[in-house]
Amino acid sequence: AQTVTQSQPEMSVQEAETVTLSCTYDTSESDYYLFWYKQPPSRQMILVIRQEAYKQQNATENRFSVNFQKAAKSFSLKISDSQLGDAAMYFCAYRSMNRDDKIIFGKGTRLHILP
């Protein structure tokens, strides 16, 4: 069974600085999808970025980018120029390419932005 591990329960970063949230996963599959979701205090779950495992190029969405290391099974999220609105819980998620797929989430990293 697949697992997703976020080893940093909490992190803090100074406003305008860069922060990297780590995520590792365990799978025997060669093709899959990875996602980062953001959950602000409003409780809403918001998709931040996604990556297909067959793509070597790292995904980028404005200030958000990933470092996808397939061999190491690592999928870290980098937030550049951190803003107060980035304060949230961040979840890493794995989606299998099996027909009967399960979407597995990590336990989350709470990110604090220091003004």
Partner 1 sequence: IAGITQAPTSQILAAGRRMTLRCTQDMRHNAMYWYRQDLGLGLRLIHYSNTAGTTGKGEVPDGYSVSRANTDDFPLTLASAVPSQTSVYFCASSPEGGISNSPLHFGNGTRLTVT
Interface with partner 1 (CB under 8 A): 6, 9, 33, 35, 37, 42-45, 47, 50, 52, 91, 93, 95, 97-108
Q: Which is nearer to partner 1, 35 or 75 (CB)?
A: 35
Whole-number minimum distance, CB 58 to partner 1, in Å? 16
What 3 state SS string does the chain have? CCEEECCCCEEEEECCCCEEECCEEECCCCCEEEEEEEECCCCCCEEEEEEECCCCCCCEECCEEEEEECCCCEEEEEECCCCHHHCEEEEEEEEECCCCCCEEECCCEEEEEEC
Q: Which is nearer to partner 1, 46 or 114 (CB)?
A: 46
Q: Which is nearer to partner 1, 41 or 115 (CB)?
A: 41
